[in-house]
A = this chain, B = another copy of it.
Amino acid sequence: MKVRLIIMLKQGVLDPQGKAINHALHNLSFQEVQDVRVGRVIDLEVTETSPEKAKARATEMAQQLLANGVIEDFQVEVLA
């Protein structure tokens, strides 16, 4: 079973990368871009076969290690 974590900076936390990328996209004439936020994806291949359980475990992993709760939020998605 494959589980995906999407980890993004919390709303309001400065995202220097997003800012710089936004700027670079404008320089490349992608004027329609208004805002860019950058985050991390972590794809986990797990032996667990129940989607609920897999999701619960991935949430634990995010809380314990993978996301930095002080500045980041995360979402869990079961992919397959």
**Chain A, interface size: which category?**
20 to 34
A40 within 8 A of B: yes
> How many copies of this chain does the complex contain?
2
Which A residues form the contact surface with B (CB < 8 A)? 6-8, 18, 21, 24-25, 28, 30, 32-48, 57, 60-61, 64-66
CB-based contact B38/A42 at 8 Å: yes
Distance in angstroms between the alpha carbons of A46 and B28 in the assembled complex:
15
User: Which of the residues B7, B46, B57 comes within 8 Å of A34, measured between beta carbons?
Assistant: B46
27 A-B contacts (beta carbon < 8 Å): A6-B41, A7-B41, A8-B41, A21-B42, A21-B66, A24-B65, A30-B57, A30-B61, A32-B47, A32-B48, A32-B57, A33-B46, A33-B61, A34-B45, A34-B47, A35-B44, A35-B45, A36-B43, A36-B44, A37-B42, A37-B43, A38-B42, A39-B40, A39-B42, A40-B40, A40-B41, A41-B41
